[in-house]
Chains A and B, each alone.
Chain A
Amino acid sequence: MNAPVRTLASPYARKLARERGIALARVTGSGPNGRIVAEDLMAAPEAAPTAPIPAPAMAAAPAPAVVAARPISAFAATLDLTPLSAFIAASGSELSIDAFLVKAAARAAGAEAEAIRWIKPEGGAVTIARPLALAPTEIARQIGGDAETASPGGKVMVVSRLAAKGVRPVAGSLPAGIDLRVLVVASDGSETAEALVVHDADAITETEAGEILTGFRDLLEAPLRLLV
């Protein structure tokens, strides 16, 4: 009788195999003692009947309803706001989450957001130039201001927050000349938020948009990172 042969594989290789529906037994390992490593899976054929793997915490939203003939795409994610609330409380400041949303959006979008237009819930907008260089206190001061500032030029990202409970964003319009938008739905004091990234797929690929959304979520869920 043959004892079952144990397949040597790194934890990451096993994870990749699970996700791609690849049988490890069919893969030749190139690592020490024949251990299967991630690289070995890159060449392996995917098994025919693969179950669709749901992307964790991120699902494609339905395409926006009525927009001009632009290739618009959108992704949504749920954010845990408790670390941010704890962080704001620990800092002893009275800031709302809005300044941090702007800061995180700017950081996540990188070169895609040379300026951020903050749409006020009561109407009107404030454009914040070079938000990456600003502290949250300064962002809060600017978005609390009245004047509609002139657009500084460069790529502008639109950020807004809808203070509503129990609703999720599924589509958002993209104003003319804007390629990227983040819409957050969170009531004041809420422990979670729903975020929707809307983008022009000609200007920003879906992969990039997905990274912007995960980056946005990761920053808000580890807010100390916003300080460096």
Chain B
Amino acid sequence: MSAQVMNPAIRAPEIHNPVFRSAAGRTLPAGLSAAALLELYERMVLLRRFESVAQTACRKGETPGFLHLYIGEEATAVGVCAHLRPTDWITSTHRGHGHALAKGMDPDILMAELFGKRDGCCGGRGGTMHLYDRKTGLFGTNGIVAAGISHAVGAGMSARAQGKDGVGVAFFGDGATNHGGFHESLNFAGIQKAPAVLVCENNLYATATPLASATLNPEIATRAAAYGIPGVAVDGNDVIAVWQVMAEATARARSGQGPTLIEAKTYRTVGHHEGDPVTGTYRTQAEVDEWAKRDPIQMLRTRLLEDFGAASADELGAIDAKIDGIVAQSLEFARNSPEPDPATTALHVYAEPINPADALVQAAPTATVTQGWLDAVRDGIAEEMRRNPHLLYFGEGTGERGGTFAHTKNLWTEFGPNRMVDTPISEQGFTGAAIGASATGSRTIADLMFADFVFEAAGQIVLQAAKLRYMSNGQMNAPMVVRVGSGAVRSAGPHHSGTYHPSWANIPGLIVCMPATPADAKGLMKTALRAGDPVIMLEPKALFASKGEVPTGEHLVPFGLARIAREGGDITIVSAGQLVHRALEAAEKLAAEGISAEVIDLRTIMPLDVGTVAKSVAKTHRLLVVDEGWGAFGVGAEVAQAMNELAFDDLDAPVGRLHTDAQPHPLAPALERAMLVDAVKIVAAAKGVLGGQPPVPKHWRYLGRQAAPAPVAAPAATTMPAPVAPAPAAPAAAGDGEPITMPFGDLTISEGTIVGWLKKEGDAVKAGEIVAEIETDKAVVEIEAPVDGILGPIEQPKGTVVPMGGRIGSVRT
């Protein structure tokens, strides 16, 4: 009789695949001894008795927060974990005490953690839904549905990268199977043949929502077909059956055959959480009673006594009594453990110190070489990948294709597909896997292409990576780098122009970098790849085509150290990323008027080097913050308030701030120019600050009278921010025919080199015929004749570097 039929409110689903159950009778499955069966029994009793005691403690008010009990589902955790080693990793759910115990966690430290005590497995920082134990391979129970699936996939890939046969096992509920995290992770695990096992505990309800009312395909195991991986449904209350299917799934994972989806059909015989009624409005007492008859511990007990004769009732009673003693001791332990010391509450937010030691040792100065931004960073990543064989790069098209911006060119050739992992467009799934791998002995880069796309993985970054060190009481961390191209560049439009760094800098646990030069981009990337915390690396797309001096030797730039980009005495202008260059242009214009501006390049938004800013303000007494992020709750507000706190007596004028206008980025160049910060606006704002009246933003949108209009110049049409483009070479002799030009193409490319002319001057050419080839950082572009005619004169010879849109010759008609 199927479970669903028992609930009169729910239509019995059509079952497409059989549910695996253990064979009836006396025969034990291969590999399972009577002694092993007794161990499974003992472990299940531990899970049950532990939860019963925790339930009582919760009702007495001894455990702070929520409590979700695993009662009724013990056979699944125990049958699965029986195959796992301490070095394998499991990820779990909000209902995870059973998983922790099945994986081998000491009941004492588990109970103490539920009590929020100092001796708990996470020192009271995590609690029931955030249990971590590196020793036993518990990579977290989790308060977020489906969040742990990708971590297990990453942990498996991490083991493989380290040459081990460890596996990652994810437990999740039926509710998670309708979440993107499930879909993205299973698909990614499949295509990567990840050493992972994905265990769905289908207890029929996502809190109070019946599975059959949440999907038209409630046969979860069948969904494996969507990802091309095996799926098996098993009776989750039959520990022998779970043991059997997990034996096969583990063997597949360890031997490189890839992941398996296991759907364990089970039932919780308690409410969703303590305090929630057992039946509620979503199920009947009759249904609960029917499932209680199939209690997993009772079922095994009966078979041990009647089918296998593995033990007598007295012997099983002795096991029960032993477990009662262990659980009573854990309760005693938890009650006696002291409260955590309030003075320690701020520990384990970031690595201490925040910089890796290598970034604090100054290398001997070396020669420099002029390099483009992308080449410099690419070299830095290659150096780190050579240094650390467990550094993996996940990204869309960053493998064999070499990246959308040609930013991973040649890395795939050197490091191969197992380290340069080409991913599906599954930001949440592969970022989660990057977190999982980074927390288990590897390091990872998750390349999300555009800063705008980071929001697709925001839950993983903010709720998992950033909090991992803290939740786990410093046991675990996620040393991963989220790498994206950021900021406005030539009408990239509403979904490809943002930076969003204030949003990420607002999250405790994240490091946020925004370099302005190729050398800093490389140096910060190398530091990030040796640091202990998740890093958001925002590389301004507008600077991809820029060049700069980059040290040829080992070069690391520490986090939290601003650079004085230009010295001055009258006003300090603080900036970061591409606006450092606009600020330098403004400083040049101000100098022409006798005003000496000091320009500070923050380099990292978090940590924020307010000390250097305060020191500069002590000299100039005036400050303007210029930032590409939106102003509301942004960098300007943060730096200005820091000066109130650190440098109040040094201020001779209110601090000013100038940000990208608080609106989406439009496509039309005229509209985009009007909202972006440029040198003219910076000059006007600086003069405002010097006159004691800084510009006043309009982003509050409050209903009262608007403040006096800020002294901001109208944007001039000539000041569109553009990457540094080389001055076009002087044309040899401009012909009077139809011009042949280097076509505009990719937003992040600014120039190309003429590889050669395929036609000679004086040759007859047809419109559309290829006359020349130009190589950019990304590709060779074929240049066509614009019209029928005679080629000539050729104005730029082979080898010349020409800017986009630049003229290279003409065709006479």
Residues of A at the B interface (CB closer than 8 Å) are 10-15, 31-32, 35, 37-38, 86-87, 90-93, 133-138, 218, 222, 224-228
Contacts and interface: CB of A to CB of B under 8 A. Distances in A.
Nearest to A218: B615
Given A13-B652, A31-B691, A137-B364, 11 more contacts: A12-B649, A15-B650, A32-B691, A90-B353, A90-B355, A93-B357, A135-B363, A135-B364, A224-B558, A225-B561, A227-B360
A134 B364 contact: yes
A224 B362 CA distance: 10
B6 interface: no
Contacts of A90: 353, 355, 357, 360
Given A32-B691, A226-B362, A227-B362, A91 B649 contact: no
B360 A37 contact: no
Interface string B582-617: 000000000000000000000000000001100100
The 8 closest A-B pairs by CB, nearest first: A91-B360, A92-B357, A90-B353, A12-B652, A31-B692, A15-B649, A135-B362, A10-B652
Q: What does DSSP make chain A's interface, helix, strand, loop or mixed?
A: helix
Contacts of B650: 11-12, 15
Contacts of B360: 87, 90-92, 224, 227
A222 B611 contact: yes
Contacts of B563: 228
Nearest to A39: B652
B653 A227 contact: no
Q: Which of B357, B651, B692, B693 has the most CB of A within 10 A?
A: B692
B653 A10 contact: yes
B621 A12 contact: yes
21 contacts: A10-B653, A10-B692, A11-B648, A11-B651, A11-B652, A12-B649, A12-B650, A12-B652, A13-B652, A15-B650, A31-B692, A38-B621, A91-B357, A91-B361, A92-B360, A222-B611, A224-B360, A224-B558, A224-B561, A227-B362, A227-B558
B163 interface: no
A228 B357 CA distance: 16
Contacts of A137: 361-362, 364
Nearest to B617: A12
Interface residues of B, number: 26
Interface string B331-360: 000000000000000000000010101001
B560 interface: yes
Contacts of A93: 357, 361
Nearest to A87: B360
B608 to A, nearest CB: 13
Nearest to A36: B652
A92 B353 CA distance: 11
B362 A136 contact: yes
Given A90-B357, A227-B561, A228-B563, A138 B364 contact: yes
Interface of B: 353, 355, 357, 360-365, 558, 560-561, 563, 611-612, 615, 621, 648-653, 691-693
Nearest to A93: B361
A196 B353 CA distance: 31
A199 to B, nearest CB: 23
B654 to A, nearest CB: 8
A133 B365 contact: yes
Given A90-B357, A222-B611, A224-B561, A11 B364 contact: no
Contacts of B615: 218
A99 to B, nearest CB: 10
Nearest to B603: A228
Contacts of B649: 11-12, 14-15
Contacts of B653: 10, 31, 37
Contact of B365 (A13, A135, A222, A224): A135
Contacts of A32: 691-693
A122 to B, nearest CB: 27
Contacts of B362: 135-137, 226-227
Contacts of A86: 353
Given A91-B361, A92-B357, A135-B364, A37 B652 contact: yes
Q: Which of B560, B652, B693 has the most CB of A within 10 A?
A: B652
Contacts of A222: 611
Contacts of A224: 360, 558, 560-561
Nearest to A91: B360
Contacts of B353: 86, 90
A141 to B, nearest CB: 11
Given A90-B353, A224-B558, A37 B361 contact: no
B600 to A, nearest CB: 12
Nearest to B560: A224
A66 B371 CA distance: 57
B357 A37 contact: no
A173 B563 CA distance: 37
A32 B54 CA distance: 67
B262 to A, nearest CB: 45
B519 to A, nearest CB: 11
Nearest to B693: A32
Contacts of A218: 615
B793 to A, nearest CB: 50
Contacts of A14: 649
Contacts of B558: 224, 227
A152 to B, nearest CB: 18
B651 A12 contact: yes
A20 to B, nearest CB: 14
Nearest to B361: A91
Nearest to A31: B692
Nearest to B363: A135
Contacts of A136: 362
Contacts of A134: 364
B360 to A, nearest CB: 4
A227 B691 CA distance: 36
A94 B651 CA distance: 41
B550 to A, nearest CB: 15
Nearest to A15: B649
Nearest to A135: B362
Nearest to B354: A90
A136 B355 CA distance: 18
Contact of A35 (B361, B363, B561, B692): B692
Q: Which of A14, A87, A222, A228 has the most CB of B within 10 A?
A: A228
B146 to A, nearest CB: 38
Nearest to B648: A11
B364 A37 contact: no
Contacts of A138: 364
A15 B621 CA distance: 12
A198 to B, nearest CB: 26
B733 to A, nearest CB: 48
A85 to B, nearest CB: 12
A107 B361 CA distance: 17
Contacts of A12: 621, 649-652
Nearest to B708: A32
A133 B652 CA distance: 37
A219 B648 CA distance: 22
Contacts of B652: 10-13, 37-38
A86 B357 CA distance: 11
Contacts of A225: 561, 612
Nearest to B644: A11
A89 to B, nearest CB: 8
Nearest to A223: B360
A12 B644 CA distance: 12
Contacts of A135: 361-365
B651 A10 contact: yes
A92 B360 CA distance: 9
A10 B622 CA distance: 11
A42 B558 CA distance: 41
Contacts of B561: 224-225, 227-228
Contacts of B560: 224
